[in-house]
Amino acid sequence: MFNPQKQAEEMIRRCGERVTTGRIQVLAILLAEQRAVTHHEIEKRLSDKPRLNRVTLYRVLEWLNEKCFVHKVVGDDRIWHFRANSPTTYHQHAHFECMRCTRVVCLDDMKAEYDSPLPAGYQSREIELRVKGLCAECA
């Protein structure tokens, strides 16, 4: 039984920092999503009533990123896309980006590597492989 809400709360509680409804809601949304989604898409998925303020959502996303619950990718639309981290998510990461609908999908199985050396004095910290093209719906 996969309960994103429960799981999100558990994850945040376990990390020892403050457990707020905003953080739980947002992480739950991301856990339930396979794609990397934007601030705007998350905002639409948030239950109404007293909806989370958009500035707070930005801050929650930044916090989730710092705590390594999620990672973020910028697409050619110049918008951050957020995705919950799976245990396998590492500093070598591949993404697919649809050139038509701007959807971003994490290619979790694909590993990013490089062969040639970097210019002298350059240090590598993260490697990201980006495949651009058309997603199944847009092809």
Partner DNA sequence: ATATTAAATGCAACTATGTTGCAATACTAA
Partner DNA sequence: TTAGTATTGCAACATAGTTGCATTTAATAT
Q: Which of 31, 37, 38, 104 binds DNA (CB under 7 A)?
A: 38
DSSP state of 106: E
Parallel/antiparallel/unpaired status of strands 92-98 and 80-84: unpaired
Coil vs helix vs strand at 33: coil
Assess contact for 91 and 125: CB atoms under 8 A: yes
Gyration radius of the chain's alpha carbons: 16
101 binds, among Mn ion, its own copies, Zn ion, none (CB under 5 to 8 A by kind): Zn ion
* Residue 106 is a binding residue for Mn ion (CB under 5 A): yes
Nearer to Zn ion (CB atom), residue 35 or residue 39: 35
* Residue 17 is a binding residue for DNA (CB under 7 A): yes
Q: How many Cβ atoms sit within 10 Å of the Cβ of residue 123?
A: 5
22 binds, among DNA, its own copies, Zn ion, none (CB under 5 to 8 A by kind): DNA
Q: Which of 5, 7, 35, 39 binds DNA (CB under 7 A)?
A: 39
Alpha-carbon distance 85 to 69, whole Å?
6
What would the two tokens of residue 138 be? 């847009």
Q: Which residues bind Mn ion (CB under 5 A)?
A: 83, 106
Q: Which residues bind DNA (CB under 7 A)?
A: 13, 17-23, 38-40, 50, 52-56, 58-60, 62-63, 74, 78-80
